[in-house]
Amino acid sequence: MIKRILLDAGPWFAFLSQRDQHREWATAQFEQYTQFTTCEPVVTEVCHRLAYHRQSPDLALQALDEGAIVIDFSISRSLASVRSWLIKYADRGIDLADACLLAMVQDEPRCKLITTDRIFEVVRMRDRRVVPAVLPTRAG
């Protein structure tokens, strides 16, 4: 049984952006799940992408205010784990948001990660299991 649905920046941005290539897929994810859990680095990334594309970052913050997306992670409490992910996958271009999400997955094995980031197809958890990620299908 899935306990938490974790949300990465890619699907969140795609859902809010009219022109993103994954918008339809992201919309389907937001229709399927009623609440997502994320971390502050993901919020920062989404707000930055929205501002870069001349959209209001408030679109993302509104979802937090309404409770559809919940921040449930503390970098300070999980610093050793976050640092270890950043070091282990530095050659793959892992960023802070990815490392935090991996720490969240490690802490809650009964979760599902909604993402567009293909790094989660190659990353393995400490016990060698595959990251329970849901990604859009690749265009053929």
Domain boundaries, the chain: 4-16+36-131
Cα separation of 127 and 62, whole Å?
37
Q: Is 14 helix (H, G, I), strand (E, B) or coil?
A: helix
Q: What is the pLDDT of residues 36-86, one digit of tens each?
A: 999 999 999 999 999 999 999 999 999 999 999 999 999 999 999 999 999
Topology of domain 4-16+36-131, CATH: Rossmann fold (3.40.50)
Q: What is the pLDDT of residues 88-104, one digit of tens each?
A: 999 999 999 999 999 99
| pLDDT for res 88 | 94
Query: Does 139 have pLDDT greater than 80?
Result: no
The predicted model scores a pTM of 0.94
pLDDT band at 13 (very low <50, low <70, confident <90, very high): very high
Is there a contact between 119 and 94 (Cβ–Cβ < 8 Å)? yes
| pLDDT for res 109 | 79
